[in-house]
Amino acid sequence: KFPKEHFLIRSVKITGLVEAQVAQRVPRLLKLKPPVTVGIYAKPDEVELKIMAKHYSKKKAARMVLRIENEIRRKFKEKVMGTDNDTLSSVVGGLLKKKKKTLAIAESCTGGLVSNRVTQTSGSSDYFLGGIVCYRNTIKIQALGVSEASLKKEGAVSENVALQLAKNIRARFGSDYGIGVSGIAGPSGGTKRKPVGLVYIAIASPNKNICREYHFFGSRTEIQSHAANKALDLLRLELLNLG
């Protein structure tokens, strides 16, 4: 009777890069032959590197997997979002919980999708206070105190307004972190200066406020999804920097 082979699989999830960029950095790993191999799979907004190892000794198989995982982590650093069943939502939730911090969200073009992603993780009431979908400018002014002058001068889709959304939701809800999202999800509404897919994502925290400008591509649903994902990833990186 032959001893049984142990088969171990570990998925390492990478965000912020597309499949081709990930493949470029790990050509050696993707060429490995059994007993340990690495496959690459593109998913919406993340790339998965799947390590598969088999060995008669479970310990040896686990060691092989760990060695490759560590190499991937060294190559991709903070772009490694998690492993196996981790999602951006669960990872961000775990970081907020660990640091005993709370979050509130003000979103425009994503229509509540960022809040929806956050609450996909069970127990999110521990750290997620709530959010406001402020689609119209009048609501941005009334509910969140965004300056009318900024809206007139720079428009709702601007760095300044996204920052005000993040700072003001944080102040109104008394949370440690605030996220502000404003953009053009399309397919209409874009201009030469502000094309469809332009999204500003701001994060307000006790130490600093940041805002990033992104240009996403795809359908309305895809742009909203990319933006929601990026908002959570930006918060994840901010939470990691704290530590």
pLDDT digits (tens, 9 = 90+) for 80-132: 999 999 999 999 999 999 999 999 999 999 999 999 999 999 999 999 999 99
Percent of the chain at pLDDT exceeding 70: 98
Over the chain, what is the mean pLDDT?
96
DSSP 4: P
How does pLDDT run across 138-154, given as a tens digit for each residue? 999 999 999 999 999 99
ω into 35 cis (within 30 of 0): yes
Write the CB contacts of 108 (distance below 8 Å, at least 6 apart in sequence).
133, 134, 135, 140, 156, 165, 181, 182, 183
Identify the pLDDT of residue 92. 98
Give CA–CA dist 4/7, Å, rounded.
9
Using alpha carbons, select from 243, 222, 115, 241 the residue that is nearest to residue 179: 115
pLDDT above 60 (res 243): no
Is the pLDDT score of 21 beyond 70?
A: yes
In this prediction the pTM is 0.95
Structure tokens at 109: 């073009």
Of all residues in the chain, what percent carry a pLDDT higher than 90?
96
Confidence (pLDDT) at 68: 98
Sheet of strand 6-14: strand arrangement: 36-43, 46-55, 6-14, 80-83
CA–CA separation, 40 and 17 (whole Å):
13
Phi-psi sector, 145: left (phi>0), alpha (psi -120 to 50), beta: left
pLDDT at 126: 98
What confidence tier does 242 reach under pLDDT thresholds 50, 70, 90? low
pLDDT, residue 109, reads: 97
What's the confidence (pLDDT) of residue 229? 97
